Structure 1
Amino acid sequence: MKFLYWRFAPLALISLIAAPALATVVLSTTPVAKEAPASAAPAKQQSAETPWLYLNSDVPQQKEWLFGTLPNGVRYAIRKNGVPPGQVSVRVRIDAGSLMEDDGEQGFAHFLEHLSFRGSKEVPEGESKRAWQRLGVTFGSDSNASTTATETVYKLDLPNAKEAGLDESLNILASMMESPNIIDSTVSAERAVVMAEQREAFGAAVKIGDASRETFFSGQKLAKRSTIGTVETLTGATAAGLQAFHDRWYRPERAVVVISGDMDPALMEGMVKKHFASWKGTGPNPADPDFGQPDPNAPVSAAIVEPSFPGIVQIGILRPWAPVADTIVYNEGLMIEAIALRIINRRLETRARVGGSYLQAAVEQEDSSRSADTTTVSIFPIGDDWQAAVRDVRAVIDDATTNAPAQADIDREVNEFDLALLNTLENEAAEPGSKQADDLVRAVDICETVTTSQGALDIFRGAKRLFTPEQMLTATKRLMQGSVPPRILLTTPKPVENAAALAATALTENVSSLAANTKARDVTFADLPRLGTPAKVVKRSMLDSIAIETVELSNGVKLILFPNAGEPGKIYVSARFGNGYQALPRDKPSLAWTGGMAMVPSGIGKLGIEELDALSNGRKINLGFDITEDAFVLGGETRAVDLADQLKLMAAKLKKPGWDPAPVIRARAQMLAGYEIMNGAPGSVLQRDLDALVRGGDPRWATPSRDEIAALTPKAFRKFWKPILKTGPIEVQIFGDFKAEDAIEAARQSFGALRLRKPAKIIGENALTGIPVHNDAPVMRTHKGPPDQAAAVLAWPTGGGVENIAEARRLEVLAAIFNDRLFDKLRSEAGASYSPSVSSQWPTGMANGGYLMVLGQLKPGGTDQFFKLSREIAADLATTLVEPDELARALGPIKQYYMRASTGNQFWLRETAGSTRNPQKIDAMESLASDLLRITPQDVQAMAQRYLGADKSWSMVVLPETKAADVGAVLTPAR
C-alpha cells in the first residue's frame, strides 16, 4: 500500500526539467525492507480464502473487489463502480518489462506492446482501433499502453459500455495477449513507428536520464536498460526474435486482468473466464532475471555537458532492494519517512524562496525497479556556481540528520498529510473506476496492496504515536544513508574542467556550519488585510435546465453557484476579474508571463508565501492564478468547512496584494535558467513560438525574449499588475459540495466587502487577435537538439466567440476525422511520425483567433511528405462526403467525452465561466448535445470547404540547425 509523499508546493523546474530524465531512473518499483517502528504489532494470520493481493498482509481490504485465479494462472480483480456512469475500465498487466530483455533484445518489450495493438490472429490489422472507436473510445487516451522496466500494461476505458461491447473488447485484448500478429510485414511497419517514438523523445532529457541510470545503478542491469531500446536492437529486431520474447514472457501466470466499471461483477467475471481461460503458455515459466544489487566499487561521480539544459545536480543514495510483506507495521514506517521527507523539502523550499544559491531542490525516495531502495536529491543551481548550491542543500540535509525536528514542525506536516487522506475519504464515492483500476495495477507491480480510504486514514492516525522527533531523526538518517558510497551526476551547459572530480569532492565537504534557520512566523486569518462592509444580495435567479444559481451583490460582484454532492467534500472556486488578454496591449510585449510564476508567491499585504503556507496548514485552502481571453482568474479548491476563509484569502489578494520582490527575482532566474531548453528540441521551439505565430504574431501570446526576461524587476512587476488587480467586474464561481446559503454569506463577507469596481475597458483592437497570413513557403525556425528531429505545422484560421458555437463543434468533428486519417497515413502506414495530431481551437472569449491545426514531429526530410499528405486529406474532405461509419467513429468518442466530463464540476465551471457578463454562454452550454447530434456528413464537408482552402493555410517547420544550414534556408531567427 504505497503512500504518496504529498508536497506542500509544486516544484516547477524539477517537474518540467528533471522529471523526463529521472523518470528513466526511477521506474516501476517494488519496496525494500524497512525497519519496523518501535511497539509495532505483528501481522495477523490469514485464512485460505485470503484474496491473492492480500497474502501476507494485514491492511484493511477493499472488499468491493472480486478476486480470482483461473486454472491457467491468470489472476483477476473485478469491482462495480459507477463513476463515471456507464464506463468500464479494463487493465491487462503483463509481468514483463525492459529488465526481462537480454542484451540483444533491448526495446523488445515496448516493441511488442506496439505490435499487440496492430492486430492478432483473431483481429485483422487496425480493426481493434476502429472497433473501439465505434464504442466511443478515443485512441491514445481511452485506449493506450505503457511499458516500464518491470511491466507492460494495456489500458482500455469503455464509455457507455454495454455487455456486447465489453465482451468484444475482452476478446480483442485476450487475443492481443495470446497471439499478436508478429509477422515480417507488421514488424517492418511498426519498427518505423517505434523508431519515430525514439527519435521524437526530448534528446537532452534522454541523455540525462541515461547518464543518471548509468551513474546510480552502475554494475546493475538497470544501468543499461532504456525502455525504448537502442537503434541497433530495434533495427535488428525480427519477427522470430519478437515472437520468442513473447512466448517466453507473455504467459497466463504473468498476467493480471483488472476491471472496474458500471456493470455486474459476476457478468464481468464470466467474460474474463470466457476469453482468458484458454490461454496457454509456451514452455516453462522462466524465473525473473537477477537485477543485481548496488555495487560498492562503482564510480561515485560522473559529469556530462548538455548545452540545452541549465545546470542540474543529482545525488543518489542507494540501499539493497528486497521484497516485503505489506503490513500495517510496514506502512507505519513509510508514513514516518513521508513526514521526514516533507520536513526536509519544506526547509529546502524555504531557503530557495528567500534567495540563495539554488532555484529549487527536492529529496525523494523510490524503490527503483527491484534494483535499489533509492533516495534522490535533485538540485537546480542559480548560474554556474553549482558547488555553492550543493553545499547549501547538503547543509539543510546535514542539519536534518543531526538535529531532531521540533514537534511543531512535525505536527505541521502531519496535519497536511492527515487532511490529504481525509479529503480522499470524503471523495471516495466519486473515485473513478479508471483510477481504481490503475491503483490496483500499480499495487501489483510494486508487490503491495490497496486499502480503503478509511483504512489508510486509520493506519495514519494510529501511527501518530510514532511521529516524534526521535523517530523522525532515525528515519531521516536512514533515508540519507546508503549501503554503498553516494553517487553524484553533474550536468552543465558548458564544459567544466575536472567536473567529475569536483563533483565527488562536493559530496564530502564539511557543511555543518552552513545550516540556516527556516522557521516562518505564526500567523492567523486575523493577519490578513481587513476588507470592508459586507454587501447585500440584490438579485437571485436559477437556470431552468440545471440547478445553477446566479446571485448579484450590491457592490456589483456576481456569484454563480452550483451546490451538488457529485464530488463529496470538494469545492472548486474561481474568481474572474478584468478582461484578461483583451486588456493587454496588442502592439507591444507585456509582463503577462510573470503572473503564473510570481502573482501568488508575492503575497497578500504584509504576508509572504511562507506565512500564507502556514496560514493554510492543515486546511484545504490554496490559490492559483491564470489568464484567459476575457478575464484574469484566481482559482482554488477547498471544502465546506474552509470555504469562508478560502474566499477571504482570494478577496484579500484583490484588496491588498503583496509585492514581495523575492518571488519576482526567482521567476526571472527560473526563466533565464530554463531558456536554452526552448531551443533543445522541435517540440520546445513550437511551445515557445507557435502560440504567437498562429495568431499573426500577437505579442500577448509570445514568449519573452532573453533580454525581456533579464530586464524584469520587482518594480516593473508591481507597476504592471497593480492596476490590473483593481479591475472589474468580479464574477465568483463556487461549484461543489456546499450549501447555497452558506456560500452566499461567505461571499458577502469577503468579495462582497470589496469596493464597487467599474468594468475594465477594452481598447479597440485588443478584443481581437491577429490572423496568420497565408504563406507558400513555411515560416522556419531551428533547434539545437538531435539532427534527426524536425517538426511541421499546417494551420487554417477559423473564428471565435459564442455567437456561433455550433460552428466550433462541427470543426471539432472535422478535426477528429482529419486526425484519424492523418494517423493512419503518417504513422500507421508511413511510420513517419509517432504522434501526428489535428486539433481545433475556438476561443469563446474573443470574436476570432481560432484555428484548425495539423502538427507532426518528423525526420528533417519528411516535412514535404507531411504537407503533401495533410493537404491531400484537406482537399478530399472538401470534395468528398465522409462515410457514415467514419463520421460515427469520430462523433462517438467526442460525445462520450462530453458525457463523462459533464459528471464533474470542472466541466460546468468551465462552461459557465463569464456567463454573468455574456448570457449567451449559457445558451451555448445548453445547445451542446443537440449541436453534436445534428452534425451530418454535409456539415463536415461544408466546414472543410469554408476553412481548409489551399489559399488560406499557414505553415511552419522546425529544423535542426545543421540541416537548415545545409539546405541554405532563409531562417527567421529564433528569439
Structure 2
Amino acid sequence: MLFRTLSLPVVALGLCCALRGQAQEIPADTALHTGRLPNGFTYYIRRNTQPQQRAELYLVNKIGSILENEDQRGLAHFMEHMNFNGSTHFPKNELVNYLQKAGVRFGADLNAYTSFDETVYQLPVPAGMLPDGLRILRDWAQEATMDSLEIEKERGIVLEEERLGKGAKDRMSRQYYPVLLNHSRYADRIPIGLDTVLKHFKPAVIRQFHHDWYRPDLQALIVVGDIDPVKTEAMVRAQFSDLENPKPERPRPAYAVALTGRSQFLAVTDAEASEAAIELLFKQKADPMVTAADYLCFVQRQLLLQMLSSRRYATISRAQQPAYANMNAGLQPFLGGLSLFFFDVTLKPGQYEQGFTQAWQILENVRRYGFTAGELARAKTSYLRTLETALQEQDKTPSINFVKEYQQLFLHQEAAPGIRWEQAFTASHINGITLADINALLQHYLDNKNLDIILSAPEAVKAQLPGEATVRGWMQAVRTQPLTPFREDSLQRPLMTTKPLPGHITDRSYVASLQLTRLTLSNGVTVILKPTDFKNNEIRFSGVSSGGTSLYDDNDFDAAAAAAGLVSRFGLAGLNPIQLNQALTGKVVNVSANIQPRSQTLSGVTTPADLETALQLAYLQFTQPGRDSTLFASTISSAKAMVTNRLADPTNVFSDTIAQVMGNYSYRSGPPTPEKLDKITLQRAYDIYRERFSDAAGFTFVFVGNFNTDSIAPLIAQYLGALPATYKKEQARDLGIHIPTGQWIKKVYKGLENKALVRIVYSGDYPYSQLHNLQLKALGDILQIRLTEDLREAEGEVYSPAVQVQYNKLPKSRYAMVVSFGCAPGNVDHLVERVGQLMQEMSANGPSQENVDKFKAAYSKNLELVLKDNNFWLGYLSGQYENQEDPQQVLQLQQQADSLDVTSLTEAADLFYSDKNRIIFALLPETSKH
C-alpha cells in the first residue's frame, strides 16, 4: 500500500492515555554513557560484545530536506553524497578506497540516508579501527571539502538515483502528499528534491547549506560495540570538542504538520498502477516517550495492534468469499510530529463497494462491541513472552539494536531504558490494563476528525471509481447497519492431546572438528545437531528431502508449487487457523513447510522452552495438515484479483520476461495468471502436499542453537522418529530447464518514465567445488568494485551497479553472474559495452592486486562474523548434506581465501568472465521503440 512503504522515523504513537498515574520519567539505561560537549555536540557510548571485536559508529544529524531553501531542494541528500567525495583527511574518493582495504564494504557496511528531518551516516568497523572511525565521523561532521569538480561528478550520480525512483508510486505520491501533509512545508521538501535544482545549482549554494546546518549542536555520535566506554569517551571529547557552530547561528526551526480538524478526500490514478485501494488515515499528535505514563500508553497500543491483527485474521478466516483482496489496520509513525491510525483495503475489480464495506465492518464491529476478554488475555500473554525472550537474550543483543534506540533518543527524545526496565515495568503494570482501556483507545482513533481518505487505482478504471460522497456513504451505512457481535471460537484445546509412539536412535556419530552429532532414526530420518552459544534463546532447524515440484508434470505444476502455501493457511490436526493460534498463545515458535523445485522442506525457529511445541508442529505438518474449502476459495479469489492488472507495472513485465527467458520459455517459468490459478483445485493441492510429506525417510534435519545434544535427542526421537516412512528413495528429476546458451538480447518497451533497467547474465557449466565457488564470488565482488569505480564514480551514469553470483551442483553444475543497473535509456548500449570491456580487461590481465586484497579483507571479516551466526550454520549444513558434500569443508574457507591471488583469479576469469553465453535484458520506455 502507499503509506506503509514509507521509510519514516520511529516516534512514539500518539494518544494522551487515560492512565496517567505514572508521572516519573523513564530511567536511562545505566550501561549508556552519554554527554553533551560545550559546543552542543551529543554522544552516546555503550559497550556491547555482539558481535565481538566490532563497533557500530553512527553520526546522526538533525538535518534533513525540511531545512532546504527553495534553491536547495534536494541538496540535503546531495550533501550526504558529498561527504563520501572528499574531506580533510580523505581527499576525493580516498575514504571508500581506504575502508575497502580494511574490509568495510561500500553500500553493505558503509552507508548513509537522508530523510525529511535527519541525515544519518553509518560506519561499522573492527574495534581496533575505532580511532580511525572517529576521525572519519569527525570529517563527516564538518570537514567535507566540497570541491567543485567533485560536485559536478556527483551531480550525475544523484540524478541517476532520482531517475530510479521515478514511476507510478512517485507520480501518485506527489499528488497525495500535499493533502496528507496538510500543505505544510513537508509537502514541498521530498528528500530527493527537484530536477531543476539538481541539474543547475551552483557549488556556493550547497556550501551554504553545509555551513548553516552541519554543526555540532545538531549532531550526535553513537558508538556501540566491543569497546572501553571510558577510553572512547575521552577520544570523542578530544576529536569533537573543537567543532564550531557558525556565527551568526541560523535558528533550526521545529517544523510540524498542523492538524486542521477536517477530513479530506483525494482520488489518484495512474496508467502503471496495478491495483485499486482505499486508505483511511486518521492523523493525531504523537506523544513523546518520556514518562512511565507514556510507556504504559505504549503498551496499550502494542496490545491493540496485536488484537487488531488477530481479529482481522479471525474474521477473514471465516469469510466465505471476501469481496476484497486484502485489508490491514494499525498504527504507524508519520511526519511533522504526527502519527497515523490507518485502515487500507485492496479491492477486487468490479467489487469496490462490497469489498470496502466488508472490510470496514471488521473495524466497526470492534468499535461497536469491543474486544473480548479472551482476546486481551492472549495479547497480554504473548506480549509478556516477547519481552521475556528479549530479556533472556540481552547479553546477545546485536549492537545495531542499541544504535537504533539511541538514534530515536536523540532525534525524538524517545527514552531508552533498556529491556530489563521495560520487562519489569510491563510485568508490574500490564494486569491493570482493562478491556475498557483498549476499546476506548480504538474508539479514539476511529472518532478522530482528522481523517484523510486516499483512493488509488489504475487509470483504466477511473470512470468506475466512487467519489467522495459515495465512499463516505459506504462508511455511514456500515455505522448504522446491524452487526452480529464477534464470538470467540468455542473449541479450545492443546495442540496435541496424545503424543505419537516414539521412534528410536539407531546410529550416532560425532564430527569433533565441527562439534556435530549425527543421528539416524529408526524411520530413516537423519538428524544433524550443532549446539551453539551464539544466542541464549534460539534454536533453528530445517529438514530437506529430494523431489519437489520436479516430480510433477506441467499440468500439476501450479498445484504443486502452491500446495504448501495453501495448506499452511488451513490449520492443523483438526484445529482451524484461529484455534491453532489460540493453542500457540505465549509460544515463541514458527514452523513452515515448503515445496521447492527440487525438494520439500520444513523449517522452524523457536526457543529452548518451546522446542517440544515446535517439534509437535513439525510432526503435525507431516501427519495432520488442514483442509478448508472456504479458505481455499478465498485465497485463490484474492490471488486472482492481485494478478489481474499486474502487467500495468513495467517492472512486472520486465521480471516476467527475465524469468521466462532464463527458464528457456518452459511452462514453469511463466508468470502467474488467472488461468493458471483456475487450474489449482483444493483436492489436487492437498493430495500433492500429502505425497511430498508422506515419506520422512529421505529427510535430513539440521538443528542449530542453544541446546544440549543429550537432552534434545529424546524429543527428536519422540516426534521426528515417529514420522511416517515408506522408503521410496525418491530423487528430483532433471527437467533440463537451464539458462539458454548463446548470445541473446531481449528488450522490453514498457513504461512512461525516461529510465531504463538493465540486467546482463553470464552463465555456463563449470566444475562445482568450494574453491571454484569462492573464486566466482571473488570475481563477482571485484567486478562490482570496478563497475562502481568506472560506471558510477568516473562516468556518473549509474547510481548503484550490482553484481550477483549464483551456482548450483544439482541437477547440473552451473553458474551465473548477473550485472544489474539503472540508467538513462540513451546510455544503455554503451554501458553494456563498457561492462563487457571491463570483463575482457580483467580476463586478459587479471584483477589488480589492490582489488584482490580488498575482497580478501572483506571476506575474512564477514566470515569471522557468520561463523558465529545460527542462520549461517543452518543454511551451510543443510546445503552440504543436500549436495552430499563434506561439512568440514567450512574449515578450509579462510585458507582458501588466503590462497587467492592475481594469478589464480586470472585463470578463473577465463571461465567466469566469458561472454560465450550472455543474455542482455533491457527495460526501456515505450517512447524508445520508435
Q: Identify whether the pair has TM-score above 0.5, normalized to the shorter chain.
A: yes
Matches within 5 A, 1:495-534: 495-496=462-463, 499-501=466-468, 502-513=470-481, 515=483, 519=487, 521=489, 526=494, 528=496, 532-534=500-502
Match for residue 295 of structure 2?
Answer: 331
Change over 3 Å in CA distance of 1:689–1:638 after alignment to 2: farther
1:525 Cα deviation from its structure 2 partner = 6.4
Match for residue 34 of structure 1?
Answer: 15
Segment of structure 1 superposing worse, 119-128 or 28-37: 28-37
Match for residue 347 of structure 2?
Answer: 381
The counterpart of 2:517, out of the listed 543, 549, 554, is 549
**Secondary structure, in 3 states, of the residue corresponding to 1:735?**
strand
Q: Verify: 1:884 aligned to 2:870, yes or no.
A: no
**Secondary structure, in 3 states, of the residue corresponding to 2:462?**
coil
Match for residue 626 of structure 2?
Answer: 658
Matches within 5 A, 1:72-87: 72-87=39-54
CA distance in 2, matches of 1:789, 1:531: 60
1:671 Cα deviation from its structure 2 partner = 3.6
CA distance in 2, matches of 1:800, 1:611: 51
Letter of the 2:403 counterpart: A
Change over 3 Å in CA distance of 1:374–1:33 after alignment to 2: closer
Change over 3 Å in CA distance of 1:388–1:444 after alignment to 2: farther
The counterpart of 1:758, out of the listed 724, 727, 737, is 727
Match for residue 403 of structure 1?
Answer: 369
The counterpart of 1:312, out of the listed 277, 284, 288, is 277
Letter of the 2:822 counterpart: Q
1:479 Cα deviation from its structure 2 partner = 2.3
Q: Verify: 1:567 aligned to 2:535, yes or no.
A: yes
CA distance in 2, matches of 1:588, 1:778: 32
- Checking the alignment, whether the CA contact within 8 Å between 1:61 and 1:451 is kept in structure 2 is yes
Change over 3 Å in CA distance of 1:526–1:273 after alignment to 2: closer
CA distance in 1, matches of 2:292, 2:438: 18
- Checking the alignment, whether the CA contact within 8 Å between 2:168 and 2:270 is kept in structure 1 is no
CA distance in 2, matches of 1:906, 1:764: 28
Matches within 5 A, 1:555-634: 555-580=523-548, 583=551, 589-595=557-563, 597-627=565-595, 630-634=598-602
Q: Verify: 1:431 aligned to 2:412, yes or no.
A: no
CA-to-partner distance for each residue in 1:380-435, whole Å, 9 max, x for gaps? 12333222232223222222222232211101111111121111111111111122
- Checking the alignment, whether the CA contact within 8 Å between 1:623 and 1:650 is kept in structure 2 is yes
**Secondary structure, in 3 states, of the residue corresponding to 2:43?**
strand
**Secondary structure, in 3 states, of the residue corresponding to 2:481?**
helix
Change over 3 Å in CA distance of 1:627–1:835 after alignment to 2: farther
- Checking the alignment, whether the CA contact within 8 Å between 2:589 and 2:605 is kept in structure 1 is yes
The counterpart of 2:58, out of the listed 83, 88, 91, is 91
Letter of the 1:713 counterpart: T
CA distance in 2, matches of 1:630, 1:946: 27
CA-to-partner distance for each residue in 1:458-517, whole Å, 9 max, x for gaps? 222222233211111111112223253443434345213564423344444343436455
Q: Verify: 1:229 aligned to 2:193, yes or no.
A: yes
Q: Verify: 1:462 aligned to 2:431, yes or no.
A: no
Change over 3 Å in CA distance of 1:677–1:894 after alignment to 2: farther
CA-to-partner distance for each residue in 1:130-187, whole Å, 9 max, x for gaps? 11111111111211111112111001111x331xx32222222211221223243222
CA-to-partner distance for each residue in 1:361-391, whole Å, 9 max, x for gaps? 2222234223423212121123332222322
Q: Verify: 1:732 aligned to 2:701, yes or no.
A: yes
CA distance in 2, matches of 1:282, 1:685: 52
Letter of the 1:655 counterpart: T
Q: Verify: 1:648 aligned to 2:616, yes or no.
A: yes
1:532 Cα deviation from its structure 2 partner = 4.0
CA distance in 1, matches of 2:397, 2:404: 12
Root-mean-square deviation over aligned CA pairs:
2.7
- Checking the alignment, whether the CA contact within 8 Å between 1:682 and 1:791 is kept in structure 2 is no
1:779 Cα deviation from its structure 2 partner = 1.9
CA-to-partner distance for each residue in 1:651-680, whole Å, 9 max, x for gaps? 111112222234443443444333367545
CA-to-partner distance for each residue in 1:337-363, whole Å, 9 max, x for gaps? 221232223222322333412232222
Q: Verify: 1:187 aligned to 2:187, yes or no.
A: no
1:686 Cα deviation from its structure 2 partner = 4.7
Segment of structure 1 superposing worse, 88-97 or 688-697: 688-697
**Secondary structure, in 3 states, of the residue corresponding to 1:622?**
strand
1:61 Cα deviation from its structure 2 partner = 2.5
CA distance in 1, matches of 2:905, 2:285: 60
CA distance in 2, matches of 1:691, 1:589: 16
Segment of structure 1 superposing worse, 915-924 or 420-429: 915-924
Change over 3 Å in CA distance of 1:845–1:521 after alignment to 2: farther
CA distance in 2, matches of 1:859, 1:665: 44
CA-to-partner distance for each residue in 1:612-649, whole Å, 9 max, x for gaps? 22221111122223455653222121111211121111
Matched positions, count: 924
Q: Verify: 1:795 aligned to 2:764, yes or no.
A: no
Change over 3 Å in CA distance of 1:804–1:498 after alignment to 2: closer
**Secondary structure, in 3 states, of the residue corresponding to 2:256?**
coil
Q: Verify: 1:713 aligned to 2:681, yes or no.
A: yes
**Secondary structure, in 3 states, of the residue corresponding to 1:495?**
helix
Letter of the 1:219 counterpart: H
Q: Verify: 1:198 aligned to 2:165, yes or no.
A: no
TM-score with structure 1 length normalisation?
A: 0.90
Change over 3 Å in CA distance of 1:370–1:410 after alignment to 2: same
Change over 3 Å in CA distance of 1:312–1:568 after alignment to 2: same
Match for residue 276 of structure 1?
Answer: 240
Change over 3 Å in CA distance of 1:755–1:394 after alignment to 2: closer
1:702 Cα deviation from its structure 2 partner = 4.6
Letter of the 1:253 counterpart: D
The counterpart of 1:870, out of the listed 823, 826, 835, is 835
Letter of the 2:502 counterpart: P
Letter of the 1:79 counterpart: R
TM-score with structure 2 length normalisation?
A: 0.94
Change over 3 Å in CA distance of 1:218–1:667 after alignment to 2: same
Change over 3 Å in CA distance of 1:351–1:521 after alignment to 2: closer
Structure 1 stretches lacking a partner, 5+ long:
1-17, 44-57, 967-975
Letter of the 2:108 counterpart: S
CA distance in 2, matches of 1:718, 1:480: 41
CA-to-partner distance for each residue in 1:880-901, whole Å, 9 max, x for gaps? 1323221111221122222111
Change over 3 Å in CA distance of 1:917–1:334 after alignment to 2: closer
Change over 3 Å in CA distance of 1:488–1:898 after alignment to 2: same
CA distance in 2, matches of 1:667, 1:961: 34
- Checking the alignment, whether the CA contact within 8 Å between 2:71 and 2:205 is kept in structure 1 is no
Change over 3 Å in CA distance of 1:601–1:289 after alignment to 2: same
1:908 Cα deviation from its structure 2 partner = 0.6
Change over 3 Å in CA distance of 1:800–1:583 after alignment to 2: farther
Matches within 5 A, 1:43-122: 43=24, 58-122=25-89
CA-to-partner distance for each residue in 1:174-231, whole Å, 9 max, x for gaps? 1122122324322222222122112112622223433442332223222333221122
Q: Verify: 1:349 aligned to 2:313, yes or no.
A: yes
Match for residue 215 of structure 1?
Answer: 179
Letter of the 1:644 counterpart: E
Match for residue 335 of structure 2?
Answer: 369
CA distance in 2, matches of 1:398, 1:479: 12
CA distance in 2, matches of 1:178, 1:735: 46
CA distance in 2, matches of 1:139, 1:656: 49
Change over 3 Å in CA distance of 1:944–1:759 after alignment to 2: farther
Change over 3 Å in CA distance of 1:923–1:696 after alignment to 2: farther
Structure 2 stretches lacking a partner, 5+ long:
none
Change over 3 Å in CA distance of 1:441–1:753 after alignment to 2: same
